[in-house]
Each structure stands twice: as structure tokens, then as C-alpha cells.
């Protein structure tokens, strides 16, 4: 029997366990169809492994199977999470969790399943009445003094995905030791142990009152009310991409004082099939098309969008020719960081104990801006739980004033412990108002930052490798890079290698430790000419990602297009060196 035959045999045995009365008729029929099919690809993909409950929870394609998002996988995860909460807070009779969800297909079903199981385990549940943004779930955990939370969302993933984000009592996604503790409990659970029958008296529906509290908190990210008052008619176009920002973000903008808010009507419709976009990811230019069309008709100053769970955002502004220009995640984070630092300093709001945070794959220019303004900057792993960790470490001692990552996520205040597009979108509109006050656009402001701090260009290359074979390929790619790291990239020698899995850094033949709170499967290479390349497998999709940042020369704003073209040529050379 060859390896493929053994795999089919293993998957068949596992799948047959899903034909018992523990599973509903629809699930049994779907599994039986996979078993009966001549092509066993679907069977293998659905059953070759258990959908891993990782440090952030679950995320996967919806459907029947151990490697899929469905009511039973969600149920076993929740039972394990409940078991851990009961162990972590022994003897407490007032345990509570917050449960929310986004607009995706099955999200309400999964959220109600989660609520039912927590309540069946004697834990009070605050269940949102309908879809709400991820940052509001984070805020509610802290506001209500809950011990944990769950948000059913696959964020910006394609429509066939759903997910399960696990939060702890600080409103952040779980970190050590709770992450491994929860994972261990989840891995022990079998389907017959899941308590699906709810105690309805322990489930409390929440909604509008928490919206009000959250909107008041978001207002704390505002820096200069006067500039908004002067530019209250700034023409704003916004799209929620069919998701959770549809009510909260326009309301937040109004509370800040903006009066000319226009929404993309087709994308205000709640729909987990995301019918107006190929993928509900604001990183993709295609998702911004309808917003830009409306912006053109209205002669808008800027176009903004949030992803389905409203933690990420995208912004589009006008270039000198009046054409729409989509900012990448690094440029957005750069502009937010610049404005926070420059204007808090100008308004006397910096007291000397502030700090900012960025991820290791985000542009280094943010660090340059922070240092020039005398503000501490910290580098952390990808994932907002690491930014939240830094806030928690110094809570009450130092003041967090902003942080973000290249993947279109930013948090400009400390009342939430996850990416927050409502607050970030409001602040971006304040920045646009501030720029317009000076006769500038957001594009002009970006050029000013480059002229003041130097031009840098970033490019992210994602290589998708689906299924078991793809996961094996990604593991092998990382192993090969560790075994034989590149000697040069883009014509410049590699002078520093950082391996966050071994927590070792090699520079000029000398090895030193990397001071990080945990290991992570990330490699970084730095070249003599200031180029930075980071490589990591995605934690949420079957991808391996390469993050490239190259420096360039840009004497004037008119040189921007030339600098970008030269930088892209260098990026292409680096991709060729890496075999991409």
C-alpha cells in the first residue's frame, strides 16, 4: 500500500465516524457523498487533519469534516475553551464571556452555538443581537468585565471561509500561557462531550447600549477637534464591503463632526457571499472599485472601506492628476503614525512616557519618525495580540498612542486591544481635514513624509499552496531557506539574518540572541543597502508570504513615480533570487 492509499484509508476511517447520529442529517449526507465519490480529493482535504485550534482560534473553509469550519468543530472548540475558563477561574460563580459575529454565511449559527455551549457549562454569555465589528467585541470584554470572548469571523478571507477568534479578559486574542492551555483542552474534547443544550437564562442579548459606549471610546482617538470643525464638509465615501462597519463607522464619523458622509449603497447590504467583490479584502484594489466610482461622481476627497469584521481598512486619495491612488497598508500606517506624533507634539499632548508599536514586517520609516520625535518604538510579531501585549505590560505606567501592521490594521488608542478600523478611519478623515486645511491632499502629505524621512517601497508577495501537499511545500520552503540562506538579494549582500524560530541573529559571522517573548516561524534578511526581506507562512490562509522593503532616492515629489519604478525593478530582482 503506497502513501496515498494509506492516506485515503485513514481519511475514510475518520469520515465514517461522522456518519453516526451525533451528526445531523445534512452533515452525514455531505460526508457520504465524499466517501462515495471516485475522486477522493475532497475527502482528503476535509479529513486529512483536524482543523487546528491555534493561538488565535480557528479559521478554515466551511463544510463537513475535521478540517472544516462547521457546527461540530466550533462546538468542540467551545467546549474545550469553556473547560479551560472553568479551570483558570476556579470557584467563581460570576464567569462571563462576550460572543459576537460578522456577516458571513453561518456566522449567526456558529455564534449561537458558542453561546449555547458556554451557557450549558454555567458561564454567563453576553451575545450581541446581530453582527458587530471585531474591535467592539474586544471593547465589550473589557467594558463588561468578562473573562473571555469569542468572535465568529474569518476577517478578510474569501467567502468560503469562516473563523473563531478567542479572546481573554484583557480584550486581546489569547497569548501564553492561556493559548497553549486552551489548545490542550480543545484537543481533549470528543463530540459526545460537547454540551449543546443551552441554559437560556444565562444568555443576555446586548447591542445598542454597547454601541454607545464604544462610540464614546472611539472619540478618544481624536486629536484636533478644531481642524475637523473647519473642514466638517470634507467629502467622504465609505464602504463596509457588506460587513459589520455599515452602522458603526458612519455613526463614528458623525460623532467626530464630519457631515458629508456618503456610503456605497450596493455594499451596505449584509451578504456573506460578498456579491460585489471577488474577495472582501481591502488590500485588493478590485474591492475598492465601487467606492472609487462613487467618489468620482461626488468629487470626494477620499474613499475608505473596512473589511467584513471591520478591523482592517483601506484608503484611497487623489494624486496630483486627480486620479484615485490606493494607499498600501504600510503607507496608511506611516501616515497615521506621522500625524499622531507630529500633532500630539505640536499640541503639547506628549508627556514623555508615550510609546508606539509596529510589527517586524512593517516599514522601518515608522521607527525613524518615532525616534526623531523622542517617542519609544517597539517591534513585535505579526498579529495584534502582540501589540495588545505591549499595551498590557505597561498599562498604568506608559501611554500607548498608536500601533499597526502592514496588512491594513491599525489601533490609534488603548480602549480596544485589536485592530480598529472605526477609530482609524475617523482619524484618517481628521488627517485629510488637517491636510486640506493647508491646501494639501493625503497624497501630498505622503510625499512630504517621504521627503522628510526618505523614500521606502514595500511589496508583499503571497504564494498560495492549498491542501495537504501545499502545507508540506510551505514547510519545505522554510526548511530550505534555513538550510541555505541567500548570500545576496537584489545585488546587495545579506549582512544580517534573523531567525525568530531559533531566536538567533547572525551579523558579520557573529551570532547573538533575539530578545522576543516567544518563537515564531519567521526569517528576515537585511542587505548592505538597507533592504529588508521577511518571510513567514500565513497563520490564517494556505500561503507563504514574503515582505520586501527597499530604500530609494526621491529628491522631489515629482520623482515619486521614478523612485517606485526603480524600487519595483529591485523587488523583481529579489523575487528572482528567491525563485518566486
* C-beta atoms surrounding 484 within 10 Å: 8
DSSP 8-state secondary structure symbol assigned to residue 88? H
Select from 358, 554, 567, 532 the least CA-distant residue to 446: 554
Q: Give the pLDDT of residue 464.
A: 86
| pLDDT tens digits, 160-187 | 999 999 999 999 999 888 988 998 999 8
Question: Which fold would CATH assign to domain 49-206?
Answer: Alpha-D-Glucose-1,6-Bisphosphate; Chain A, domain 3 (3.40.120)
Q: Give the pLDDT of residue 468.
A: 73
Q: How confident is the model at residue 57 (pLDDT cuts 50, 70, 90)?
A: confident
Q: Given a cut of 80, is residue 191 above it in pLDDT? A: yes
Top-confidence range, 201-215, 274-288, 458-472: 201-215
Q: Give the pLDDT of residue 521.
A: 94
Q: Give the pLDDT of residue 55.
A: 67
Report the chain's mean pLDDT, rounded to a whole number. 94
Q: Give the pLDDT of residue 472.
A: 85
Q: Which residues pair with 261 in a beta bridge?
A: 236
Strand 96-101, strand 57-61: pairing: unpaired
Q: Give the pLDDT of residue 543.
A: 87
Q: Which residues pair with 508 in a beta bridge?
A: none
- What does the block give as the cell for 230? 473647519
Select from 35, 11, 121 the least CA-distant residue to 467: 11
Question: Which residues, including other chains, have CB under 8 Å from residue 226's CB and lie 6 or more apart?
Answer: none
Q: Give the pLDDT of residue 50.
A: 87
- What does the block give as the cell for 110? 456558529
Q: Given a cut of 90, is residue 54 above it in pLDDT? A: no
> Which of the residues are catalytic?
155
Q: Which residues pair with 325 in a beta bridge?
A: 317
| pLDDT tens digits, 330-359 | 999 999 999 999 999 999 999 999 999 999
Select from 78, 506, 54, 105 the least CA-distant residue to 273: 105
Q: Given a cut of 90, is residue 466 above it in pLDDT? A: no
Q: Given a cut of 90, is residue 470 above it in pLDDT? A: no
Q: What's the alpha-carbon Rg for the chain, to the nearest Å?
A: 24
* C-beta atoms surrounding 326 within 10 Å: 18
Q: Give the pLDDT of residue 211.
A: 98
CATH classification code of 456-577: 3.30.310
DSSP string over 138-204: HHHHHHHT-SEEEEE--TTS-TTEEEEEEEETTSSB--TTHHHHHHHHHHH--GGG---S--GGGEE
Average confidence (pLDDT) over 174-201? 93
Q: Given a cut of 90, is residue 225 above it in pLDDT? A: yes
Query: Domain 215-453: what homologous superfamily?
Result: Alpha-D-Glucose-1,6-Bisphosphate, subunit A, domain 3 (3.40.120.10)
Question: Which residues, including other chains, have CB under 8 Å from residue 165's CB and lie 6 or more apart?
Answer: 56, 57, 134, 150, 151, 152, 153, 173
Q: How confident is the model at residue 540 (pLDDT cuts 50, 70, 90)?
A: low
Q: Given a cut of 70, is residue 80 above it in pLDDT? A: yes
Q: What does each C-alpha distance from 164 to 113, 217, 309 come to in angstroms?
A: 12, 25, 12
| pLDDT tens digits, 87-101 | 999 989 899 999 999
**From edge to edge, which strands make up the β-sheet containing 203-206?**
57-61, 161-168, 148-152, 96-101, 124-128, 203-206
Sole residue written with cell 485588493: 284
Q: How confident is the model at residue 509 (pLDDT cuts 50, 70, 90)?
A: confident
Domain with CATH 3.30.310 in the chain: 456-577
In the chain, % helix, strand, coil (3-state, to 5) comes to 45, 20, 35
Torsion angle defined by CA atoms of residues 512, 513, 519 and 521, in that order, rounded to the nearest 10 degrees: -10
C-alpha count within 13 angstroms, C-beta hemisphere, residue 309: 30
pLDDT > 70: percent of the chain: 99
d(CA 52, CA 540): 11
Higher pLDDT, 49 or 315: 315
Element housing 304 (H / E): strand 302-306
Domain with CATH 3.40.120.10 in the chain: 49-206, 215-453
Amino acid at each position: 500500500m503506497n502513501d496515498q492509499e494509506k492516506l485515503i484509508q485513514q481519511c475514510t476511517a475518520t469520515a465514517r465516524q461522522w456518519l453516526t447520529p451525533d451528526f445531523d442529517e445534512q452533515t452525514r449526507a455531505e460526508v457520504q457523498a465524499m466517501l462515495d465519490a471516485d475522486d477522493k480529493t475532497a475527502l482528503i482535504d476535509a479529513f486529512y487533519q483536524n482543523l487546528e485550534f491555534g493561538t488565535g482560534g480557528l479559521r478554515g473553509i466551511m463544510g463537513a469534516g475535521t478540517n472544516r469550519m462547521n457546527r461540530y468543530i466550533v462546538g468542540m472548540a467551545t467546549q474545550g475553551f469553556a473547560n479551560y475558563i472553568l479551570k483558570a477561574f476556579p470557584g467563581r460563580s460570576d464567569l462571563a464571556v462576550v460572543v459576537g459575529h460578522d456577516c458571513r454565511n453561518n456566522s449567526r449559527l456558529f455564534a449561537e452555538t458558542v453561546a449555547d455551549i458556554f451557557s450549558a457549562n454555567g458561564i454567563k454569555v453576553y451575545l450581541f443581537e446581530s453582527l458587530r465589528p471585531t474591535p467592539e467585541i474586544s471593547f465589550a470584554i473589557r467594558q463588561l468585565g468578562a473573562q473571555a470572548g469569542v468572535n465568529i469571523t474569518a476577517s478578510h478571507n474569501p467567502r468560503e471561509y469562516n473563523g473563531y477568534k478567542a479572546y481573554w479578559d484583557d480584550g486581546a486574542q489569547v497569548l501564553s500561557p492561556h493559548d497553549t492551555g486552551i489548545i490542550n483542552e480543545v484537543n481533549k474534547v470528543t463530540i459526545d462531550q460537547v454540551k449543546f443544550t443551552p441554559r437560556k437564562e444565562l444568555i443576555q442579548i446586548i447591542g445598542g447600549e454597547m454601541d454607545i459606549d464604544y462610540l464614546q471610546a472611539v472619540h478618544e482617538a481624536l486629536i484636533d477637534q478644531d481642524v475637523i470643525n473647519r473642514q466638517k464638509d470634507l467629502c467622504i465615501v465609505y464602504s463596509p464591503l457588506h460587513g459589520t462597519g455599515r452602522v458603526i463607522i458612519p455613526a463614528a464619523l458623525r460623532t467626530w463632526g464630519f457631515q458629508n458622509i456618503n456610503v456605497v449603497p450596493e455594499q451596505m447590504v449584509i451578504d456573506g457571499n460578498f456579491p460585489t467583490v471577488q474577495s472582501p479584502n481591502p488590500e485588493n484594489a478590485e474591492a475598492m472599485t465601487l467606492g472609487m466610482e462613487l467618489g468620482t461622481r461626488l468629487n470626494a476627497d477620499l474613499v475608505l472601506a473596512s473589511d467584513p469584521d471591520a478591523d482592517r481598512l483601506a484608503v484611497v486619495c487623489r494624486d496630483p492628476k486627480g486620479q484615485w491612488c490606493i494607499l498600501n497598508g504600510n503607507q496608511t500606517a506611516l501616515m497615521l503614525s506621522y500625524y499622531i506624533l507630529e500633532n500630539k507634539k505640536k499640541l503639547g499632548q506628549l508627556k514623555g512616557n508615550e510609546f508606539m508599536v509596529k510589527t517586524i514586517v512593517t516599514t522601518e520609516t515608522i521607527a525613524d519618525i518615532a525616534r526623531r520625535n523622542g517617542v519609544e518604538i517597539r517591534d513585535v510579531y505579526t498579529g495584534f495580540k502582540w501589540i495588545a501585549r505591549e499595551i498590557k505590560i505597561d498599562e498604568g505606567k506608559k501611554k500607548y498612542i498608536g500601533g499597526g501592521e502592514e496588512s491594513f490594521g491599525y489601533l490609534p488608542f488603548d480602549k480596544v486591544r485589536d485592530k480598529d478600523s472605526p477609530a482609524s478611519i475617523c482619524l484618517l478623515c481628521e488627517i485629510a481635514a488637517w491636510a486640506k486645511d493647508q491646501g494639501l491632499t493625503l497624497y501630498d502629505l505622503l510625499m512630504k513624509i517621504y521627503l522628510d524621512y526618505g523614500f521606502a517601497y514595500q511589496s508583499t508577495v503571497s504564494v498560495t499552496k492549498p491542501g495537504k501537499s501545499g502545507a508540506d511545500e510551505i514547510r519545505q520552503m522554510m526548511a530550505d531557506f534555513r538550510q541555505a540562506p541567500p548570500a545576496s538579494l537584489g545585488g546587495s549582500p545579506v549582512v544580517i539574518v534573523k531567525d525568530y524560530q531559533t531566536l538567533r541573529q547572525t551579523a558579520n559571522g557573529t551570532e547573538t540572541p533575539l530578545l522576543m517573548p516567544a518563537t515564531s516561524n519567521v526569517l528576515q534578511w537585511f542587505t548592505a543597502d538597507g533592504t529588508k526581506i521577511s518571510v513567514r507562512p500565513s497563520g490564517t490562509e494556505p500561503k507563504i508570504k514574503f515582505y520586501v522593503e527597499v530604500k530609494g532616492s526621491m529628491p522631489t515629489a515629482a520623482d515619486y513615480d521614478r523612485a517606485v519604478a526603480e524600487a519595483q525593478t529591485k523587488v523583481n530582482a529579489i523575487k528572482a533570487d528567491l525563485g518566486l
